[in-house]
Amino acid sequence: MSRRVLLAAPRGYCAGVDRAVIAVEKSLELYGAPVYVRKEIVHNKHVVSTLEKRGVIFVNETDEVPEGATVVFSAHGVSPAVHEQAAARNLKTIDATCPLVTKVHNEVKRFADDETEILLIGHIGHEEVEGTAGEAPGKVRVVDGLDEARTIIPTPGKKLVWLTQTTLSVDETMQSVAILKDRFPEIANPPSDDICYATQNRQEAIKAIAPQADLVIVVGSTNSSNSVRLVEVALEYGAKAAYLVDYATEVKDEWFEGVEVIGVTSGASVPEILVNDLLKHLDEHGYSDVEEVRSSEETLLFALPKELRADLKAAK
């Protein structure tokens, strides 16, 4: 049996996650611990626990942050109401919202008026969706899944436009859009694609590997929407089995039974060290032949949040 690993590329950190994590690390250096972060900075257990050890305190809401302290907003974005709450408590805010999420926020602001209802394709309760919908309270309806696309009844007499959460499955999103367009032919499109380039690229990379894979292991956390999607895409495109793990230690020996080819990838909020740990673990089980399968190149970089750039400049 020729045991081998097909390693997806691109994988792991996207530009938005990289920017958000560096923003927290730079805040620690500049302002000292503790630095408060509203929600998880990115949806990854390892990243959160590593930052906690360095003096980051994660909170659910701004009212848990002491008056006048520094708070970083996560990559998933926040609503204007959260900005107002932070200002009322005299908090120093560093907004690490991914610029691609900010783009969708700006689209909501552009389309939100009394005549228009926005159908936001996404997961109810996800932080990004809550922040985006919060840009226009009462004017955004969340369409969560294909069933919702088939059954949602918009407010009569309103113009309609669809937008999406950035970290969804590309295929399922386009199915939802097709259903909405079929039901509401007059629905307007967003000015450009909302699904993040990194989400799309990671899905395309695993699609190339899945048909050859007896097993796909995705490194990522269960609350990471894009990581969960990678498991679904792997199964949809022909992988015989696919699992999501935070750490290599979660891999079960029985998964290897009869398996020759293992596909490996990681979500957009996953540091490469966790993938390397998994590859070492697979090597110990005889899967030492690793071939990287690259579907696209990524060169995008985002500047740090403007508040942080100003303070870094002043500190020089």
CA distance 134 to 124: 13
CA distance 290 to 223: 28
CA distance 298 to 9: 10
Q: How far is CA 144 from CA 100, 107, 123, 173, 198, in A?
A: 20, 19, 5, 10, 21
Contacts of 255 (CB under 8 A, 6+ apart): 215, 217, 241, 243
**Catalytic site residue from 40, 107, 128, 135:** 128
> Do 78 and 131 touch, CB atoms closer than 8 A?
yes
**Cis bond upstream, residue 211 (ω within 30):** no
End-to-end CA distance of the chain: 58
Amino acid at 45: K
Is 291 a known active-site residue? no
Query: Among candidates 237, 184, 179, which has minimal Cα distance to 208?
Result: 237
Strand partners, 38: 59, 73
Q: Which two tokens stand for residue 309?
A: 């750039």
Positions marked catalytic: 128
